[in-house]
């Protein structure tokens, strides 16, 4: 028998021996480790661009209103990016002693950047380049919001060990920012009733910063931010460790002529200055969202 064949035979015998050893009974600790390794993990690197997100109110302002037909609110050029980082989602399914089953979906988001370049109202879902667009939030170019260190734990099924459908937490408070602190009218809420081809009056800001957005860092789910679907609607609640020190700052606030979207021949009103709110404690606050 050649040296190569002898080596191959020896390797095969070794593998069989090792495999037989691996099939021996495992103790409780070993079983626990093996169980912990099951489940599904999905890693996603987001890079979504150019989308339009629409919310359509199918019955307008009501049957007796002059605006009784359906209308849509549309966010244009919506982008979602994880800035090259991976969003990790772990999915596990389990059951309790009573046979009630639950699926848990845990998502960790290191970085999420949301971008857009305007919000408008239309009589139908938006179409790119549509002449019917009625801008009520205009931006100077694409604006982006960055969030980091977010964690979402969702539990669905017959039971919920955490006591809530969704629990939001984070590794540290995050900050959202829009526009620029050194410029004016980067984001404008337009007064459509007074808007003309040469004038865009409204409320303009150079920059908007919301800091101290803390969804909670507690090991107790109820102390963080919870989301539940109830008979009253979708309830978002901030627990005792969430949103305890929220700060809002707006720079270069303009009330009047903003000249948004007008290339020339328009003079903007001078800004009134900066406006800020500091130290908002929203712990214990809940918001219920439902239709009417």
- Tell which residue, 263, 146, 261, 273, has the closest CA to residue 205: 273
| Residue 141 neighbours by CB under 8 Å, 6+ apart | 117
Whether residues 88 and 107 fall in one domain: yes
Whether residues 210 and 257 fall in one domain: yes
Whether residues 220 and 168 fall in one domain: yes
pLDDT score recorded for residue 126: 54
Q: Read off the DSSP letter of residue 139.
A: E
- Tell which residue, 267, 278, 76, has the closest CA to residue 184: 267
pLDDT score recorded for residue 137: 85
28-57 tens-digit pLDDT: 344 344 445 589 999 999 999 988 888 888
Residue 251, both tokens: 């720079």
Whether residues 6 and 139 fall in one domain: no
Give the chain's count of helices (H) and strands (E): 2, 18
Strand partners, 105: 91, 154
Whether residues 48 and 159 fall in one domain: yes
Residue position matching structure tokens 């707006």: 250
Residue 170, both tokens: 């984070």
Whether residues 32 and 101 fall in one domain: no
Whether residues 146 and 225 fall in one domain: yes
Whether residues 45 and 132 fall in one domain: yes
Question: 18 lies in which domain range?
Answer: 1-38
Number of domains in the chain: 2
Whole-angstrom Cα distance, residue 240 to residue 220?
Answer: 10
Mean pLDDT of 170-186: 89
Whether residues 200 and 257 fall in one domain: yes
- Tell which residue, 261, 133, 284, has the closest CA to residue 187: 261
150-168 tens-digit pLDDT: 999 999 998 889 999 999 9
pLDDT band at 8 (very low <50, low <70, confident <90, very high): very low
Whether residues 6 and 149 fall in one domain: no
Q: What is the CA radius of gyration of the chain?
A: 27
135-152 tens-digit pLDDT: 778 888 888 888 888 999
Q: Evaluate whether 149 touches 110 at the Cβ level (below 8 Å).
A: yes
Q: Evaluate whether 80 touches 105 at the Cβ level (below 8 Å).
A: no
Whether residues 10 and 29 fall in one domain: yes
pLDDT band at 115 (very low <50, low <70, confident <90, very high): very high
Whole-angstrom Cα distance, residue 162 to residue 106?
Answer: 12
Whether residues 29 and 139 fall in one domain: no
Give me the chain's average pLDDT, please.
84
Q: Read off the DSSP letter of residue 223.
A: G
């Amino acid at each position: 028998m050649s040296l190569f064949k002898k080596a191959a035979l020896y390797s095969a015998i070794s593998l069989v021996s090792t495999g037989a050893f691996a099939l021996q009974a495992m103790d409780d600790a070993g079983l626990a480790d093996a169980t912990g390794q099951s489940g599904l993990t999905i890693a996603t690197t987001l890079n979504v661009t150019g989308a339009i997100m629409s919310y359509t109110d199918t019955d307008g302002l009501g049957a007796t209103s002059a605006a009784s037909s359906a209308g849509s609110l549309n966010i244009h050029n919506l982008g979602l990016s994880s800035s090259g980082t991976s969003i990790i989602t772990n999915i596990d399914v389990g059951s309790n002693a009573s046979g009630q089953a639950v699926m848990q979906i845990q998502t960790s988001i290191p970085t999420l950047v949301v971008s857009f370049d305007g919000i408008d109202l239309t009589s139908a879902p938006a179409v790119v380049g549509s002449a019917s667009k009625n801008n009520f939030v205009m931006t100077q170019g694409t604006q982006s919001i960055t969030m980091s260190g977010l964690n979402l734990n969702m539990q669905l099924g017959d039971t919920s060990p955490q006591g809530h459908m969704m629990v939001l937490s984070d590794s540290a408070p995050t900050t959202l920012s829009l526009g620029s602190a050194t410029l004016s009218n980067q984001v404008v809420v337009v007064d459509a009733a007074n808007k003309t081809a040469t004038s865009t009056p409204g409320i303009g800001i150079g920059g908007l910063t919301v800091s101290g957005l803390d969804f909670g860092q507690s090991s107790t789910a109820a102390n963080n931010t919870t989301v539940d679907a109830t008979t009253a609607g979708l309830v978002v609640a901030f627990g005792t460790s969430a949103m305890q020190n929220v700060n809002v700052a707006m720079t270069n606030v303009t009330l009047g002529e903003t000249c948004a979207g007008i290339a020339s021949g328009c003079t903007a009103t001078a800004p009134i200055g900066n406006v800020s709110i500091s130290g908002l404690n929203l712990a214990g606050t809940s918001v219920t969202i439902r239709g009417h």
